[in-house]
Amino acid sequence: MQFPILVEPTADGRFRAEIGEPFRLSAVAHDAQHALDELVRQVQQRLRSGARVAVLTVDNGSIQVTAPFLADDAYKADWVYRELTEEMVENRRLEDAVGP
């Protein structure tokens, strides 16, 4: 599943990342990447705490529910998550190389 994330500057010069239903989470940080990183951390925490995503499909009066799947394993195969994780690792490596 893919979920859109809105990232936008705030009035105080920081950035807010927001994800809508079914998570309804947001994070604010000094730059867009850190706001995204925090939002991903919040979603991961929700999933580790037992949250699952199911899909209800209504088609011309018939209803089909796709049972919750183990998102803990599903995200590992998601290319967006992999690329985001690789970017976070690289950004942290670069920040550590610069030092305090």
Each residue's pLDDT tens digit, 6-28: 999 999 999 999 999 999 999 99
Residue 77 belongs to a domain: yes
CA 12 to chain centre: 23
Residue 99 belongs to a domain: no
Percent of the chain clearing pLDDT 90 (strictly above): 42
- Tens of pLDDT, residues 29-86: 999 999 999 999 999 999 888 888 888 888 888 888 776 655 556 666 777 777 888 8
- The pairing of beta strand 5-9 with beta strand 15-19: antiparallel
> Which 8-state DSSP code applies to residue 87?
H
> Which 8-state DSSP code applies to residue 3?
-
Residue 100 belongs to a domain: no
Residue 88 belongs to a domain: yes
- pTM reported for the whole predicted model: 0.60
Q: Provide the residue range defining the domain that includes 11.
A: 5-92
Distances, alpha carbon 59 to alpha carbons 31, 55, 67, 68, in Å: 42, 13, 17, 19
Residue 81 belongs to a domain: yes
Residue 97 belongs to a domain: no
pLDDT of residue 31: 94
Residue 98 belongs to a domain: no
Of the candidates 3, 10, 9, which has an alpha carbon nearest to the alpha carbon of residue 25?
Answer: 3
Domain count, the chain: 1
Residue keyed to tokens 């089909």: 64
pLDDT of residue 69: 55
pLDDT of residue 86: 84
Residue 47 belongs to a domain: yes
